[in-house]
Amino acid sequence: MVDCRTHIQCRKKVNFKYTEKQLLESLSIEKGVFNKDRLTLFSIVKDEIYFLAPFLDHYRSIGIEQFIFLDDRSQDGTREYIANQDDCVLLKSSATFGDPTIVNRVGIFPRIIRAGTAYKKLIPQAFLSKEYSLYADADEFLILPPQVENLRKLKELATQRMSRCYAASLVEFFPANISTLYEPFAPSKAKDLIQKFCFFEAKPLLKPRRLRQPKKIGNSKSQELFSQFFPFENTMNSPTLKTPFSYQNRLIYRRGSHKTSFPPDHAILLCMIHFVFTNNLPIKINRALKWKSYNNNSQKYINYQKLLQKLPFHDFELTTSKSQKFNSSDQFLESQLMRYLT
C-alpha cells in the first residue's frame, strides 16, 4: 500500500505498480528509427497477426508514412512481423498492458488505470509532441470523407481550420450470416476484410456538438445484439466514439481509448470501421478471457462469449432493415455516420 496525496486535505491508499513517469521511463525503441517529420500512426498491440497485413495495407494507402507499435509480448508472430517492416518503429516496455498505473490529476483523488491505457497518452508525449498523429487499434480502419484525398490533406485542413482533433463514428462491420465467423479465412489486404465482412447499420451513432464531445445517439451493432439476447442484463456498453486524429501538446492529450482532453471539431466527423464480427472473434474471446487485461477484466469479451453461445450456429442473419453493404464513404455521409464541413 502506498500513500498518495492529491491535495493537502485528501489522502488515499491505492495499489499500483507504476506511475506515469515510471511507464514513460520504461519505454524504449527495440527496432527501427523514428522520424518526427513523417506522418505517423501509433498503435498498441498484442497477438494481432490476423489484422496486421491488412491494417498496414490500409493505412499506407491513405497516407501514413510511419508506424509506431508498442507490443505486449505477443506470441503469434506479431512482434517479428512488425520488426521486419521498414516503415515501422517497434517499442518495448517493462510493463504489461494490464499493470495498474496511477494517474494524478489536480484537485481529485488518484485514479488507477491499466498501463495499456496510460500509454495512449504517453507514447504521443514521448514521440509526437506538437504534431498531428493518428491512433488506431489493429481492428480499426479509418475511412476519410470523399472530399479528403488522404491524411496529408486532412492534416492541412486541420491546420487551416486550427482544429486540434477529429472524432469518428466507430462503425462495426459484420457478415450477413453468423456462420461466416466459423469459416477459414486469412486476410492479406484491407479489401479482403471489407469484402468478407461488408455490412454495417446505416444510422447515425453520434451527434457532433460545438466545443463539446459528440453526443451518443445510437447503439453499436454489438450493443443491439446484447440488448436483443440479454434484455434484462446490464451488459457493458460497446463504444461508438473514437478520436483517431489529434494534435498533442501539454494541454491536448488522449484520455483513454476514445476521447481527448480537447473537444473535436464539430464540423467534421470521420468514420472508423471496427472489425468485431470476423472469424478472429472466437480466438480473441479466448485470449481476452485468459489475459484479463482488457477493461473491467475483459467483461466485453465475456459478453461476446455468451452471445456466440446464444446465437443459432447456421441460420441467424445478422443483417437488419437498416443494414447496407459497404461500397463507398458516400454511404457514411448519407446515413449521417460521417460529416464534412456542416
* Rounded (5°) CA angle 150-154-159: 150
Same domain, 88 and 147: no
- Mean per-residue pLDDT for 15-43? 95
Residue 2 has pLDDT above 70, yes or no: no
Same domain, 80 and 167: no
Q: Which of 137, 161, 187 is the last residue of a domain?
A: 137
Give per-residue pLDDT as tens, 132-176.
999 999 999 999 999 999 999 999 999 999 999 999 999 999 999
Residue 250, CA distances (Å) to 115, 133, 254, 279 in order: 20, 15, 11, 41
Same domain, 248 and 273: yes
C-alpha atoms less than 13 angstroms from C-alpha of 245 in its C-beta half-sphere:
31
The DSSP element (H or E) to which 42 belongs, if any, is strand 40-45
Q: Which of 98, 121, 137 is the last residue of a domain?
A: 137
Higher pLDDT, 257 or 282: 282
Same domain, 226 and 321: yes
Report the chain's mean pLDDT, rounded to a whole number. 91
Higher pLDDT, 105 or 341: 341
- Mean per-residue pLDDT for 187-216? 98
Domain count, the chain: 2
Q: How confident is the model at residue 10 (pLDDT cuts 50, 70, 90)?
A: very low
Same domain, 232 and 250: yes
Q: What is the pLDDT of residue 223?
A: 94
Ordered alpha helix ranges (H), the chain: 20-25, 49-61, 78-83, 115-127, 151-161, 190-196, 221-229, 281-291, 295-310, 330-334
Same domain, 131 and 162: no
Q: Which of 137, 159, 194 is the last residue of a domain?
A: 137
Same domain, 95 and 68: yes
Q: What percent of the chain has pLDDT over 90?
A: 78
Same domain, 79 and 26: yes
Residue span of the structural domain in which 97 resides? 1-137
Same domain, 69 and 160: no
Same domain, 122 and 213: no
Residues pairing with 265 in the sheet:
none
Q: How confident is the model at residue 106 (pLDDT cuts 50, 70, 90)?
A: low
Residue 235 has pLDDT above 90, yes or no: no
Same domain, 153 and 266: yes
| 3-class secondary structure, 208 | strand
Same domain, 130 and 143: no
